Structure 1
Amino acid sequence: MAASWPRDDTRESFPEDDYRAYLISRNPPPIVYHSCGVRLKRLRVRFDRAVDAIDRMLHRVIEALARSKARR
């Protein structure tokens, strides 16, 4: 036996129809999709910068040690 639901005939336009009309008429922002490759490239740049900063710091420490030994 099929269930029948009483329908209110006074409400012919459904709210979801209004929402659909809004979605069609709006001007959506462009979809920007960053692939995994772009994320990996950015991560690699950050990693390279961090390695360069550590390298510079170690070179300064080595130069400071060399200067202090040369003074003795």
Structure 2
Amino acid sequence: MKNILFFALTITLGSLACKKADVALEGGLNGQWELRTVNRGYSGKVINYPIGNGQKLIFAGNTYKIMAHDTVKKQEHLPL
């Protein structure tokens, strides 16, 4: 009986703790951002770029561009 009560209490508290907050980004990511650091994930290799390196990410609505020295390397229009 104690195990069933403990299980029910755990499920109840767990579901209350997982409530999602309604958070909206008002400004979003719109604008131009300079790439400063790349973390290569599994290998753990970290690349640090100096200020003014020419590597930029530009976000506008649901479109983004990856720029390298004023040349578009990739441009995507994301569905809403």
The structure where strand makes up a greater share of residues is: 2
Instruction: Give the TM-score range, shorter chain.
Output: 0.3 to 0.5
**Greater relative contact order, per chain length (Cα 8 Å cut-off, separation 6+):** 2
Q: TM-score if structure 2 supplies the norm length?
A: 0.32
Q: Which one has a bigger Cα radius of gyration?
A: 1
Q: TM-score if structure 1 supplies the norm length?
A: 0.35
The structure where helix makes up a greater share of residues is: 1
